[in-house]
Amino acid sequence: MNYFSQYLPLADIFLLALGFAFSQQVVLRAGVFSVATAGFASLGAYCSAILVTTYGWPAPAAIAASLLFGTAAGWCLSLPLARLRGIYQAIATLAFVQVVIAVMLFATSITGGGLGINSIPKSVGTGTLLAAAIITGYVMFAMQRSGIGRAFDAIQQEETVAAVLGVSIRRYHALAFTISGAIAGLFGGLQSLNTYTLTPSSFSFTFVIMVLGYIVVGGRRSAWGPVVGVAFLTLLPELSRGLAEYRPIVTGIVMIAVMIFLPLGLADTFILSLKRRKRQGNLVEGGTHVRSAS
């Protein structure tokens, strides 16, 4: 029992990172170059922490408020940014993150400023995080096979063709922002009630790079992408104690190598190769049947 309990903090890190990776994947899959996940997560985290420590809200109500706050933030951000494309979206969403962090730093009477909020009651454990990750994962896999997922794929592959086919680009971009905000807000709220303390630096530029790294390494098309990316970049350095202190270096090297040799990501490349083998097998089997019949 003690053997497994020593890995519970690592499991918490993995599950929280998985939630943030799902949030990032939604927008990238819809062809939106957004890095706003850090801002949504920060809003959700401070929402939960303030409601619990200042106003005495129960944890479930505070987490629900974080989810709603993140959803509203995602929808509001989509209104001015759904028209932008490419690097302009990236810069605008990065500016949004910086604005959120600046507010957290200077609204000292509410957020605690640079010192953050301390002595937050730990009311979220591994079980709660696991349940949230499973439910979010189920939604992601269901969405992948739904009309929304197909619309996201069409927009990502060729936006002009998707528009000609009747896909509302602005509507689905707004939906992607909203879903991303909801997931990030939820897991931000969970994180704040799991780690005792919360500071603006928790969602700094390093957070942005790590979340992007999960998707670059894992892949953005399949819902397995975030799982593989988070497992590779979070669990391996931690389980290999000798590599843990070199995590930034390892992360950078892995990201560069994947972008060069496996641009689709580990999970997406593997799934694509399985589909190709299945098609080749079907063709060989079909050819055999034709020869037998003749």
- What pLDDT is stored for residue 284 in this prediction? 58
Domain residue limits at 41: 2-293
Instruction: Convert the pLDDT of each residue in 21-37 to its tens digit.
Output: 999 999 998 888 889 99
Q: Which range among 7-21, 150-164, 166-180, 184-198 shows the weakest confidence by mean pLDDT?
A: 150-164
| Beta pairing partners, 198 | 117
Q: Which of 15, 24, 55, 32 is nearest to 170 (CA)?
A: 32
Instruction: Convert the pLDDT of each residue in 204-235 to its tens digit.
Output: 888 998 899 899 888 877 888 899 999 988 87
3-state secondary structure of 58: coil
Q: Find the CATH number of the domain harbouring 68.
A: 1.10.3470
Cβ atoms of 190 and 17 within 8 Å: the answer is: no
Please work out, in degrees rounded to the nearest 5, the angle formed at the alpha carbon of residue 72 by the alpha carbons of 151 and 29.
25
Average pLDDT over residues 192-200: 91
- What pLDDT is stored for residue 277 in this prediction? 79
Spatial distance between the Cα atoms of 268 and 225, rounded to a whole number of angstroms: 7
3-state secondary structure of 198: strand
* pLDDT over 60 at 294, yes or no: no
Query: HSE of 105 in the Cβ direction (CA atoms, 13 Å)?
Result: 11
Class of residue 253 by CB neighbours under 10 A (exposed 0-12, middle 13-18, buried 19+): exposed
Count of domains in the chain?
A: 1
Cβ atoms of 52 and 19 within 8 Å: the answer is: no
pTM over 0.85: yes
| Beta pairing partners, 151 | none
Average pLDDT over residues 80-94: 86
Spatial distance between the Cα atoms of 50 and 104, rounded to a whole number of angstroms: 12
Number of H helices, E strands in the chain: 16, 0
Spatial distance between the Cα atoms of 249 and 85, rounded to a whole number of angstroms: 31
| 3-class secondary structure per residue, 110-146 | HHCHHHCECCCCCCCCHHHHHHHHHHHHHHHHHHHCC
Cβ atoms of 258 and 266 within 8 Å: the answer is: yes
Average pLDDT over residues 14-19: 95
- What pLDDT is stored for residue 23 in this prediction? 95
